[in-house]
Amino acid sequence: MRQFNAYTLDDWPRRKSAEIIFQSTNEAIYYANLVDDRLAAYDLLKKWRKKNQQDLDHLKSKRPFNFNRLFDLAVRGQLYRECMEEIQRINEGEK
């Protein structure tokens, strides 16, 4: 397992497509607490999650199944959702 070294938004690991990489729920929650513009971050996560779901649906229609890739996409979507929920929770607490 990789060592977590991202303590600022600039240091956060990203994919080639500039998507944030989360390895755990704790990282997703930490990212939600670090981000300054929560509305923009929420919209970006929502876009990434929608694209992730489309990729997942496309892979489900192919035979034979690549279960490792399907699992990876499912977990990625789950971590995006958890980060979005944390952003919502933080925003509700500030009201």
* Per-residue pLDDT tens digits of the chain, which is 95 residues long: 456 667 788 888 889 998 999 999 999 999 999 999 999 999 999 999 999 999 999 999 998 989 999 999 999 999 999 999 999 999 998 76
Give the long-range contacts of residues 24-33, CB within 8 A, separation 24 or more.
Answer: 24/79, 25/79, 25/82, 27/79, 28/79, 28/80, 28/82, 28/83, 28/86, 29/82, 29/83, 29/86, 31/83, 32/83, 32/86, 32/87, 32/90, 33/86, 33/90
pLDDT of 2 reads 59
pLDDT of 49 reads 97
pLDDT of 12 reads 87
The ranges assigned to domains in the chain are 25-94
